[in-house]
Amino acid sequence: MKKIFFIIFIFFLYSFITAQVIVFPFEVDPGEKKAHQWLGRAISFYLTTSLQMNSVKALQDDKVKSILNLNNIDFPYNITKASKIKLAVDFNANIIIGGEILSSKVDSQSLVEVNSYIIDLKKRTQKYFPLIKGDVKDLFKIQNELLNYILKYFNRNKKDVSYPELNLSNKGYEIFIKGFLLNDVSGRVKLFEKAYKVNLFSDFLNFELSKCYLYEGEFNKLEIFLGKISNKFFFKYEKSFLIALLYYYKGDLRGAKNEFKRLLKENQFDAEANNNLGVLYLKEKKCELAEKHFIHSLNVRKDSIVYLNYIKLLLITKYKERASEVLNIALFYFPDEKKLIDLFSYFLSKNDKEDLLFSVFKSYIPDIYMGDDEPDIQLSLKSIFDFEFKKRIDYSLEVSKIKNLYNSGNIKETFEKLQDLLEVNPFVSEFHYLMSKIYSHMEQLSKAEMYALSALFLKKSEKNFLELIKIYKSKGDKGNLIQIVSEALELFPESKKIKKFMKFCK
């Protein structure tokens, strides 16, 4: 219960989500004909694509779909404005575009009315656009009219507006959008292939089919459909990324490497391209180059897969101490990642203080994760088409808060909050350090020692060494005192604070 309660703290997402505008699928009146329900997603797809073409920074349509999936919001996407505002804030968007498909007041199955609005969170304003009415067969005209209203809000001149060349018939567009509504890739392929039979020259359709063939592992079809996409295509860089992946899966590592390098030169997909180059160089046993690219990727965005790749490199090169450090940094950001926890338990089992360390971490980590076999880490590429967003707590902020609380003298409250924090993330060194300080204050030196050891295991800092040294001095444990002072001086040979304790080692 404590963990569930604590997760209501402020969430944040990876830094790559920098879009200012988020277009939500338009709601569809429950009384509307089922044949028209796809229109809500069609309009949001068209608007998102058009805004990007007109240099308005908008979150990609498939990323919005992933955000909705993350929050268990599914078709037909009936979302309240309050929920939209919360999602926009969570995902760093400050402008919301939304609307609804109204039931027609005319007794006709083909007439629709589109009501739309824009919410500017920075200006704290909401503006409704004029109601647009039209026949379904004129959907592209309706969408263009709506786009013009929206771009006018962004001070775009109508004569300079670019419209996406979908090259889809009305029926083809309907099938295309209905494909997006399916989570099953095989079912999506069937619909896209059906649309393709009557829309051979749609770059948008051919691109989506290429992505599906990648997921399905049908690389021959992927290659064929990549060849159908024009070079002036809107998704120029995404096409290059698909080509790089195709090279990789066909065993042409050199071709894949050249494509990823080309993307980096164009400043495209830095996090993914750097990780993938790291994987490729590691496969070639060029470890220094691989490490350089993994570090670059992590500097752009923290990612559990990239951390695992980097740790794999360090284990291969026998830098196990450094691997442990990187692992603990990764767990700071991703405390629920099973592969990282498995690896953590392996490092615990190899420590000469494993009994004391296990006694601390067993309180927070289920037994199922505990083991002494080194987990098999598979090198993994990153794809720009996978959007597994994870809401995370800003533990740096929590460290600052809990330190301030401790320094204010509220020991009891600090202790209670630390217990909650450790249930959510037991891999933050500062939490263990403060627990050790509190147990020392309570004169429970055995527990203080356990938490000082766990703090030091997570981070070999001067402060953590000093805490453990003071505990061994207070306990009169000269053997461990000599050992820990010696280890501390190896890492901090100039530390005057540590050197002060050398006299107690004689």
Residue 98 lies in a domain: yes
Nearest to 306 by CA among 333, 275, 279, 265: 275
Residue 81 lies in a domain: yes
Is 251 in the same domain as 149?
Answer: no
Is 147 in the same domain as 50?
Answer: yes
Would you say residue 32 has pLDDT above 60?
no
Helix (H, G, I), strand (E, B) or coil at 21: strand
For residue range 120-129, list pLDDT tens digits in order.
999 899 999 9
Residue 276 lies in a domain: no
Would you say residue 11 has pLDDT above 60?
no
Residues 103, 101: Cα–Cα separation, whole Å: 7
- Mean pLDDT (the chain) is 86
What percentage of the chain has pLDDT greater than the value 90?
50
Would you say residue 276 has pLDDT above 90?
yes
Boundary of a domain, candidates 133, 159, 185: 159
Is 489 in the same domain as 465?
Answer: yes
User: Which range of residues forms the domain containing residue 178?
Assistant: 166-268
Check which CATH number belongs to the domain holding 457 and give it. 1.25.40.10
For residue range 338-392, list pLDDT tens digits in order.
899 989 988 888 888 888 888 898 888 776 666 667 778 899 999 988 766 655 6
Is 325 in the same domain as 421?
Answer: no
Domains held by the chain: number: 4
Is 26 in the same domain as 145?
Answer: yes
Residues 23, 227: Cα–Cα separation, whole Å: 31
Is 294 in the same domain as 356?
Answer: yes
Non-local (6+) Cβ contacts of 151 within 8 A are 51, 54, 56, 158, 161
Would you say residue 107 has pLDDT above 50?
no
Is 191 in the same domain as 134?
Answer: no
Is 353 in the same domain as 486?
Answer: no
pTM of the model: 0.84
Lookup: tokens for 216: 């399905």
Boundary of a domain, candidates 268, 299, 329: 268
Higher pLDDT, 484 or 235: 484
Is 246 in the same domain as 294?
Answer: no
Residue 7 lies in a domain: no
Residue 183 lies in a domain: yes
Is 120 in the same domain as 147?
Answer: yes
For residue range 182-196, list pLDDT tens digits in order.
888 899 999 999 999
pLDDT at position 1, please? 37
Is 182 in the same domain as 90?
Answer: no
Residues 268, 78: Cα–Cα separation, whole Å: 34
Contact, 422 vs 431, CB < 8 A? yes
Is 155 in the same domain as 187?
Answer: no
In terms of phi and psi (left: phi > 0; alpha: psi -120 to 50; beta: otherwise), the region of 217 is: left
